[in-house]
Amino acid sequence: MEVNANAFGRNARKALLDKALQVALGRTTERFLAHRDAAVAAFPEFEGTRERASRIKLDVLDHLDTYLLRFIEEAEKRGAIVHVARDAAQAREIATRIARDEGVTLAVKSKSMASEEISFNEALQGAGVTVVESDLGEFIIQLAGEAPSHIIAPAVHKSRQEISSLFERHLGGPRTDSIPELVGMARRHLRAKFLSAGMGVSGGNFLVADTGSVVLVTNEGNGRLGTVLPRTHLAVVGIEKVIPRMSDLPTFLRLLPRSATGQAISSYVSIVTGTRRAGDPEGPERMHILLLDCGRSAILEGKYREILKCVRCAACLNVCPVYQSVGGHAYGWVYSGPIGAVLTPLLVGLAEAVALPDASTLCGACADVCPVKIPLPDFLLELRSDIREQGLKTPGEIAAMKGYAGVMQRAGLLEAIERIAGVLGQFFTKGKGIGGLPYPFSGWTERRDFPAPAALPFRKQWKIRRGVTR
């Protein structure tokens, strides 16, 4: 996917003016959050489970190579073919080769954010393979020619009316605003695709090292249908999704649906272990697993390695006041919200996404809800310092910060400025707020007043009072 993260400011302003988007965003994030909070409140073991999940993931990061090798060995033992892609270009090459070798012309795909990283659909379509998204949200935005704006609710930005129009245009049939009827239209359209597709493509929520299994957590059942009906199953998964043992899976299954949608468990949990064996009633005859590095092993070596603990639940998006205000597209790449503000610069390069670490008030709400305890605000702050160290700050900003620090270290200078500001402030504002400051404060005072400086600065008052009382 093309990176447009440095246009965050412009895209955010556009999003703020989009009334339909604002309504959709508010409704969805609040519903997810309310359900999440209720689910966590009803699950007293949440804290302990979170702690355990975090520890398991840290262990995975410490021994990622070992667990990956084990996963590959176990998966191949059970008939799967495992591929590893260093970067997006290589991943596209492997994916198209698989489709060609398997003689696929139509593929049905269940939701996968990792596949967005490598522009999977575009690559396969370029090679003559039709890819149909089968997750309802993904299906909607595929019809609209858009990218997902939320990790688990990709069409969160779309209103019911927009979806009605899209379906009317692309699927034919009478226009309807009824949700069950819209779902029915999508189901009928997709059912035919499932039955004729040569390949089912999925992501993977977890890779289980000791059994070689790919675990899919879904609510629509499209993931399961796509992995059992077509002859070939291709799973596209980031290397960090590996967990050591099948016995670790329940820990994560207790956390992921609760954090994502507030469900105690998702409607479907599919554990795909190898190809169909003799006597199996269903399952793919051929199974490929495409493991994506795409910048992950570089992250593993550095100070942000804990970001690789992420299970993509999107709780940090739902709770983030910035995400709630602007939605996912403003972030300009695959991942949005706090996780996107950290992960995007790390995966696409800091220079391509300098705007993102600043797209947060560092309020800390994300860290409160993260089910694997990723210190997201600390990472955002750390990235801001990397931006400065790598010379990516504008000269104006550097000068402003230096000037500020310079004044703040000189009490006499600060007092002089306070005195002058006090006199000028009282004279010009007559004690009222200041309504129009020059750039870079102009945006601030567009809809807010800045308080007029006090006639007598605090430090002066303090001195006088101490003088009086002593």
Partner 1 sequence: MARKFLFSFPDDGPIVTPSGSCAAMVKHGYPVLFRDEPPMLARARAVGERIYELSQYLVDVLGVTDPKSDFSGTVTYHDSCHLRRGLGVVSAPRKLLRAVPGVEFIEMEESDRCCGFGGVFSLKNPQISCKMTERKVERILATGASYVTSGDLGCLLNIGGLISRIGYPVKAIHLAEILAGKTAGKGDAG
Binding site for partner 1 (CB under 8 A): 9, 12-13, 16, 321-322, 325-326, 358-365, 367-368, 378, 381, 405, 408-409, 432-433, 435, 440-441, 443-451, 454
Our CB check for partner 1 shows the closer of 263 and 429 to be: 429
How many CB atoms are located within 10 Å of the residue 372 CB?
Answer: 23
Q: Is 127 exposed, middle or buried (0-12, 13-18, 19+ CB in 10 A)?
A: middle
Q: Classify strands 213-218 and 268-272 as parallel, antiparallel or unpaired.
A: antiparallel
CB of 311 to partner 1, least distance (A): 22
Distance of CA 277 to the CA centre of its chain: 36
CB of 405 to partner 1, least distance (A): 5
**Sequence-distant (≥ 6) Cβ neighbours of residue 144 within 8 angstroms:** 158, 162, 166
- Closest by CA position to 118, among listed 287, 333, 286: 333
CB of 260 to partner 1, least distance (A): 21
Our CB check for partner 1 shows the closer of 48 and 435 to be: 435
Our CB check for partner 1 shows the closer of 236 and 326 to be: 326
Q: Classify strands 206-208 and 199-202 as parallel, antiparallel or unpaired.
A: unpaired
How many CB atoms are located within 10 Å of the residue 41 CB?
Answer: 9
Beta bridge partners of 201: 109, 234
Our CB check for partner 1 shows the closer of 12 and 99 to be: 12
- Give the containing element (helix H, strand E) for 316: helix 315-319
Our CB check for partner 1 shows the closer of 12 and 260 to be: 12
Q: Kindly list the strands in the beta sheet with 268-272, ordered across the sheet, starting from the edge strand earlier in the chain.
A: 242-243, 206-208, 213-218, 268-272
Our CB check for partner 1 shows the closer of 294 and 322 to be: 322
CB of 372 to partner 1, least distance (A): 18
CB of 444 to partner 1, least distance (A): 5
User: With contact defined as beta carbons under 8 Å apart, do 282 and 228 qualify?
Assistant: yes
Our CB check for partner 1 shows the closer of 9 and 198 to be: 9
CB of 138 to partner 1, least distance (A): 27
Distance of CA 62 to the CA centre of its chain: 24
CB of 115 to partner 1, least distance (A): 30
